Amino acid sequence: PLVNTKEMFKHAYEGKYAIGAFNVNNMEIIQGIVAAAQKEKSALILQVSAGARKYASPIYLRKLVEAAIEETDLPIALHLDHGDSFEICKQCIDDGFSSVMIDGSALPFEENIALAKKVAEYAHERNVTVEAELGKLAGIEDDVNVSAEDAKFTDPDQAVEFVERSGVDSLAIAIGTSHGAYKFAGEPRLDFARLEKISALLPNYPLVLHGASSVIPKYLEMCNQYGAAIPGAKGVPEDMLREAAKWGVCKINVDTDLRMAMTAAIRKVLVEQPAEFDPRKYLGPGRDAIEEIVQNKIKNVFGCSGS
């Protein structure tokens, strides 16, 4: 069934695990993710960005997710990722999304609160859950001093005030993760002291980690082996995600790892079978690669099997 994130986060918080939130852009991506969740009997968040809506058109994505919901008995949330205005959140809510993110993280604190509150009021009347973001997603750079980190990363006291005044259901925080395939110039490091502080100040409250792909070596190497040029890509180590899930992180966002796995599998087919031009012959392996990495995350990293 289509569900909002309320119950899944409650259970994730209590069980000290996280629900995977995977970005979807087409049928094969959705099918790969859902097949993995089905095998692991896991709750699932399928999230759609503005770019995804532009690429596939909103109605196709919605109908594809509806198909997944009809085909399985898993609790699935359909979530707007990085909504940047009240209007896009409203449109998704009116279209049947069960959860939305209002990303006002680039706004001044007061404006971010006011926007999040407006979305939360509209959403809650319709049984839709809301995620907001406080802090700026950026990697930890070794040469940057503590006060610079302090300016970007989520301030624990502000997080409490933000949650109380906005009324949102979950909060994305900045502790050193970033979007894309190049997260760390040096050794991967997250500000766990900050996470623990935020988590202690917000008991029973679900936190969200964006930019949490691991850049799986197997698929990075496979991409590069078959002609890609993605040098120096680096993600968040899996043990850090396991650790974060123990400190109130109930939703972990993944897009880059899906892109890389699918691309690796497609590249392999195209290089090894140059006579092949049936899209099913490469999109199929692309879908299988997504299923494999999603199953591994659910089972071995996020710990949400059986949820």
Site stretch for ligand 13P (CB under 6 A), options 29-37, 247-255, 265-273, 280-288:
247-255
| 81 noted as active-site residue | yes
Which residues within the stretch 146-185 sit at the binding site for ligand G3H (CB under 6 A)? 179
Cβ-based nearer residue to Na ion, 81 or 155: 81
* Residue 297 three-state SS: helix
Site stretch for ligand 13P (CB under 6 A), options 11-19, 240-248, 252-260, 277-285:
252-260
Beta-carbon neighbour count of residue 221 at 10 Å?
A: 13
Q: Is 110 exposed, middle or buried (0-12, 13-18, 19+ CB in 10 A)?
A: exposed
From 53, 79, 117, 210, residue interacting with Zn ion (rule: CB under 5 A): 210
How far apart CA 118 and CA 135 sit, in angstroms, is 19
Choosing among Zn ion, ligand G3H, ligand 13P, none, which partner's interface includes residue 53 (Cβ < 5 to 8 Å by kind)? none
Does 179 sit near ligand 13P (CB under 6 A)?
yes
Closest CB 105 distance from ligand G3H, rounded Å: 12
How far apart CA 188 and CA 73 sit, in angstroms, is 37
Closest CB 125 distance from Zn ion, rounded Å: 26
CB 82 within 8 A of CB 129: no
Instruction: Please list, in sequence order, all residues whose beta carbon lies within 8 angstroms of the beta carbon of residue 184, skipping any fewer than 6 positions away.
Output: 139, 140, 234
Q: Which x/- pattern, by CB under 5 A, does the window 85-104 give for Na ion?
A: ----------------x---
How far apart CA 307 and CA 272 sit, in angstroms, is 39
Residue 248 among known ligand-binding residues: no
Choosing among ligand G3H, Zn ion, ligand 13P, none, which partner's interface includes residue 51 (Cβ < 5 to 8 Å by kind)? ligand G3H
Site stretch for ligand G3H (CB under 6 A), options 48-56, 122-130, 156-164, 270-278:
48-56
What burial letters (b/e) apply to 259-271, b meaning 16+ CB within 10 Å? bbbbbbbbbbbee
CB 117 within 8 A of CB 166: yes
Does 57 sit near ligand G3H (CB under 6 A)?
no
Cβ-based nearer residue to Na ion, 171 or 262: 171
Per-residue CA distances from 15 to 7, 157, 176, 213 (Å): 12, 25, 24, 22
Active site residues: 81
Interacting residues with ligand 13P (CB under 6 A): 23, 81-82, 179-180, 210-213, 253-257
